[in-house]
Structure 1
Amino acid sequence: MMPARLLASLLLLLLLPATPSAFALDFKSVGAASVILYDTPSAKGTRMYLAPRGMPLQVVSSYGDWVKVRDASGDLAWTQARGLSAVRRLVVRTPGTRVYAGPDESSQVLMTADKGVVLDLLDPNAAAWARVRHRDGIDGYVRANDVWGL
C-alpha cells in the first residue's frame, strides 16, 4: 500500500493540469502616481528606481502591504501594493512595433510604436495578438511577441 503523503502528492499532480488559471501570471500597473521600487519590503530599504505612472509590473509575491514585482527587463523589486492598479497595460519591447487594424499582418497599419511605449490592454485573454489602445486613442492589435505584460 502507498503511503498517504505520496498518494496525496500524486493526486495533486494529476489535478494540476486541470487548473491552468492557478498558474496565470498576475500583472498590475503603476497607479495614478509614480511608485518607488525598493530592494526590500520596507521604506527603509534601498531605493532602486522610480516606476512611472502606467508602467506594467508582474506581481511575483506579497508580504503584508508590500508586493514583489518584476519589470519588463526582468528586474525584481518591492513596492507598496496600494500604489498599483488592476488596470492592465503592456509595454512595447520590440522597436518599430506595428499596431494593426485587425489581428493579422495583412491588416492596415494604424501606427508604429517605439520600444518602451505603454499601451492599454483591452482584451485580457490575448493569445497570439493583443488588442490595445494608445493614449492618443488609437485602438488596434499588436503581436503578443512584441509587447511585455501578458
Structure 2
Amino acid sequence: MPWLAHIRLLFLAAALGLAALAPAWAQDLVSARNPTINMRAAPSANAEVLWRLSQGYPLQVLERRGDWLRVQDFEGDQGWVARRVVGDTPHHIVRSPRANLRAGPGTQHRVVHTAVYGDILRTVRRQGDWVQVQRPDGRGNAWVASELLWGW
C-alpha cells in the first residue's frame, strides 16, 4: 500500500476513534516494566486482579486516568495498570500458534529458534514486514514475520 494510503488510514482511524484499524506500531503502546504486573478491574490498587502479566508484555493504552492506564492486550482483554509498572521498551507477543525465528529477514533464511503463542519477544528493530527480536534462549537476535506478532 503506498505511504499516502497508510497516512489516510491512520487519520481515518483517529477520526473515527478506531485504534484497531491502525497498525499496532502506530498505536499508543506500553510494556510491563516489572517482572510481574497486575491488570486490574478498576483504576485502584484495591481492585480485583484480572491477570498477572510478565515483564515485556505489550499493551495498548485506551485511556489515561491519573496514575492509571486502561489497557488492552493482543487478544482484546481490557483492564487497568498503574503507570509506574509500565514503560516504553518495545516488545512483541507471538499471536500465531508457532513462529519461526530466522537468521535474516526473509523465509530464505534458516530457522534458528521457534516461538509459540504468547511468547514475549524484545523488539530490536523493524525492516519491512519483518521484525528483529532478541531470541528467548539468549543467543543473540533473530527475525520473525510481523504478521505473526502483535506489539511494536
Q: Normalised by the size of structure 2, how large is the TM-score?
A: 0.77
Residue 95 of structure 1 and its aligned partner are, at CA, apart by: 2.1
User: Which AA in structure 2 matches 1:99?
Assistant: L
User: Which AA in structure 2 matches 1:141?
Assistant: W
Q: What does residue 111 of structure 2 align with?
A: 109
Residue 33 of structure 1 contacts residue 83 of structure 1 at CA under 8 Å; is this kept in 2?
no
Aligned mate of 1:138, from 134, 137, 140: 140
CA–CA distance in 2 between the matches of 1:33 and 1:102? 29
CA–CA distance in 1 between the matches of 2:78 and 2:42? 10
More strand by percentage:
2
Q: What does residue 74 of structure 2 align with?
A: 72
Q: Which runs of 5+ in 1 are unaligned?
A: 1-15
- 1:110–1:84 Cα change, 3 Å: same
Residue 83 of structure 1 and its aligned partner are, at CA, apart by: 0.2
If you compute each CA radius of gyration, which structure gives the higher value, 1 or 2?
1
Residue 105 of structure 2 contacts residue 127 of structure 2 at CA under 8 Å; is this kept in 1?
no
Query: Does the residue aligned with 1:145 lie in a helix, a strand or coil?
Result: helix
Aligned mate of 1:35, from 37, 41, 50: 37
Superposed CA deviations along residues 63-90 of structure 1, whole A, max 9, x for unmatched, are 1110011112110100101000211111
Query: Does the residue aligned with 1:122 lie in a helix, a strand or coil?
Result: strand
Structure 1 stretches of 4+ with a deviation exceeding 6 A read none
C-alpha root-mean-square deviation of aligned residues, in Å? 2.2
Q: What does residue 17 of structure 2 align with?
A: none
Superposed CA deviations along residues 87-145 of structure 1, whole A, max 9, x for unmatched, are 1111112122101111110111111112121111111x554111111231331211111
Residue 42 of structure 1 and its aligned partner are, at CA, apart by: 1.3
CA–CA distance in 2 between the matches of 1:126 and 1:79? 31
Question: How many residue pairs were aligned?
Answer: 133
